[in-house]
Structures are given as C-alpha cells and as structure tokens.
Amino acid sequence: MKIWVPSQDIMDVLSDLPEGLPEPDCAIYDGNGDLPGKPEDVEIWVPPLGWISGIPALLGRMHGLRLLQTVTAGVDAYRPYLPEQAVLCNARGVHDAGTAEWVVGAMLAMLREFPGFALAQQRCEWDYHHTAALADSTVLIVGYGSIGEAVERRLAGFEVDVVRVARTPRESENVYGEDALPKLLPKADVVVLLVPATPATDRMVDAGFLNWMKDGAVLVNAARGSVVDIDALLPEVSGGRLRAVLDVAPTEPLPPEHPLWTAPGVFITPHVAGSTPASARRIRRLVREQIIRYLSGRPLANMITGEY
Ligand code: GLV
C-alpha cells in the first residue's frame, strides 16, 4: 500500500506500527520537486502543511486514492478536487493550541500596538503614548468550534467577555447563530474569524459586516483570506476606523505589490498560526492514529461529509 507523506518525521512515526498490520510503503512528497512515484499508485495521501501548487492536476491522477488526510483543519484546497472513491479527513484539533496562541497574540499585539512600537524602535524613538487594552473588552468569535474553544480557554485570565457565534446556534452553550451578527458586531472590540472557507463563508466579511463593527475595533483573521472582502476592508483600515491582523490572505503568498502590505492599521503574518512544533507533534500523533485506524479497518476520525 502506497502512502505519500510530507516529511521524514511523519514517515518515522509510521515505521513501527503495531504488529499484525500491513506494512505501508511510504514515500515523501513535500510539494516541491519531482513526484516520488506515480500518483495513480497512491492509496493514502497526507499532503504538506503549507501551500502547494498543482493540487487539482495531482488529485486528478490519483485514481487509486482511498484516503486524503490533511494536516490542516481547513480542507478547502482539496475538497473540490477529491476523487470520487476517496474519503477526506481533516486535522481537527491538531491546530487548536498553535492557532489559539496566535489569535491571542494577534489581538494583544494590535491592541497594545507592538507593530508600531517595533517600527519606533527601528528609529530609536521613545514613542510614549497610551494604548488600548484587552482587559474589559468584548471578543466576538465567529466560527466557534474547537479552535474557538481553545481561544476562549486562553482568554480566561484576561478579564474579557467572550461572545460565540457559529453557523449552527447552540442555545445550551450560549452560541449564537450568524443571524445575530448585526446585533453582536457593534458591541465587539475584537472580532476573531475562525470559519472554514466554504461557498457560504466566501466574503462573509463584506462592507455590511465591517460597517456593523464598532469604531476602533480589531478584526483578527485566522480563517481564510476568502472570508474577507479585501476591497471593503481597505477603506476601513486606511481611514483608521478599523484595524486588522491577518494570518491569511486572498492569494498566498500575498504578492509584493498588494495594497494590504502597506495599508495602515494592518498587521500581516504569513499563514503561520499552525506552524509550530506543538502542531507538528499533534500532526504526527493524528497521522499515526489515523493510518492505524485505516489499516485495521476501524472507522476513521474527522471525516468531512456534508457541511463542515
Ligand atoms: C491552517 O490554515 C489550517 O487549516 O489548519
């Protein structure tokens, strides 16, 4: 059984599977350079964490693929091209810690103006002034799932009100539906986006959404670039009414000439929220457990079916 994995460390955790299971024939494909064999022969593909080109064409050749196990929570890069006979599983839970840490760091950095102070430091300038703070603010999490819960746990010591929104409202857990956004957005100091990229969330943060946000609020996007209408965001940040911290962009890598790079009040990181040793450890654990499930004929975890 041919398995393509993205790195040596993942190959290593598949080298000593429990006795009695068929030994997989692993090859490394990290998205660069030549393919390690014929895509037609691959039964399980674990693609790399970062962006790679040519996914539609590659999946189009994977006629024997049975399982596509992503190491990301988002599956938008793969789902539209999944061969009919294959199942798609995501890495739900794997990035909760890393992404939640990034989200809390992002809101603190923007509210306490770390990017501006870093620039002042480069000018050797003691730029004393008061800043906003996270304490006493309201943080609205849009797309409240396992990463949202991890964000909320980390915010527990910051004396903030956390408001939760998800596609499916869950009254018992105080999770509002998206129809409550016009009422909730004007009260939020920080709006965190964690929704998956689907046709329903494409540009959900449009001019109307941004208009409901309160003056001085911070938008934190740890979801996907497609969720925010950048043409609507640019005038809001350029005019100084809103600020934004973005780990994701409409096109990745964001081209050097893109106006987002130089827009005032925008702090960009290059899709790094889940790129940490903590996530890497969890990825290894997930892939190993999932392959064991597959090889022993047990039900797979994190299968993506219907809406997710
Ligand atoms: C990262 O972007 C992920 O989807 O996990």
DSSP letters for the chain: -EEEESSHHHHHHTTTPPTTSPPPEEEE--SSSS-SS-GGGEEEE---SS--S-HHHHHHH-TT--EEE-SSS--TTTGGG--TT-EEE--TTTTHHHHHHHHHHHHHHHHTTHHHHHHHHHTT---------STT-EEEEES-SHHHHHHHHHGGGS--EEEEE-SS-BGGGTEE-GGGHHHHGGG-SEEEE-----GGGTT-B-HHHHHHSPTT-EEEE-S-GGGB-HHHHHHHHHTTS-EEEES--SSSSPPTT-GGGG-TTEEE--S-TT-SHHHHHHHHHHHHHHHHHHHTTPPPSSB--S--
Which residues is 68 bridged to in the sheet? 45, 88
Find the mean pLDDT for residues 1-22.
Answer: 96
Distance between Cα 122 and ligand 1 center (Å): 32
Percent of the chain with pLDDT over 70: 100
* Average pLDDT, integer, range 246-267: 97
**pLDDT on residue 296:** 96
| Residue of the CA atom closest to atom 1 of ligand 1 | 72
Q: Compute, in angstroms, the gap from residue 145 CA to the centroid of ligand 1.
A: 13
Q: Look up the CATH superfamily of 2-92+276-296.
A: NAD(P)-binding Rossmann-like Domain (3.40.50.720)
Q: What is the pLDDT of residues 28-52, one digit of tens each?
A: 999 999 999 999 999 999 999 988 8
Per-residue pLDDT tens for 206-237?
999 999 999 999 999 999 999 999 999 999 99
Does residue 110 surpass a pLDDT of 80? yes
Are 31 and 47 within 8 A, CB to CB?
yes
Q: Is the pLDDT at 141 greater than 80, yes or no?
A: yes
Nearest to 178 by CA among 196, 197, 191, 165: 165
Name the residue ranges covered by the structural domains of the chain.
2-92+276-296, 96-268
What is the Cα–Cα distance from 167 to 301, expressed in whole angstroms?
22
Q: Is the pLDDT of residue 307 over 80?
A: no
Residues with CB under 6 A from ligand 1: 72-74, 95, 274
pLDDT in tens, 167-185: 999 999 999 999 999 999 9
> What does the block give as tokens for 197?
């990229």
Residue of 76, 99, 194 with the most ligand 1 atoms within 8 Å of its CB, for mutation: 99
CA of 74 to the centre of ligand 1 (A): 5
CA dist 305 → 42, 75, 101, 135 (Å): 22, 11, 28, 39
**Across all residues in the chain, what is the average pLDDT?**
97
Atom of ligand 1 nearest to the CA of 94: 5
CA-based nearest residue to 73, from 98, 46, 93? 93
Q: Which of 71, 72, 286 to mutate to test the pocket of ligand 1 (most atoms within 8 A of CB)?
A: 72
Q: Which residues are catalytic?
A: 224, 252, 271
308 has a pLDDT exceeding 80:
no
Domains 2-92+276-296 and 96-268 share a fold: yes
- pLDDT higher than threshold 90 for residue 306: no
Among 89, 94, 95, which residue has the most ligand 1 atoms within 8 Å of its CB, making it the best to mutate?
95
**How many angstroms is it from 89 CA to the middle of ligand 1?**
13
Query: 96-268 adopts what CATH topology?
Result: Rossmann fold (3.40.50)
What is the per-residue pLDDT for 293?
Answer: 98
Model confidence at 24: pLDDT above 90: yes
Average pLDDT over residues 134-151: 97
Atom in ligand 1 nearest the alpha carbon of residue 222:
2
CA of 72 to the centre of ligand 1 (A): 4
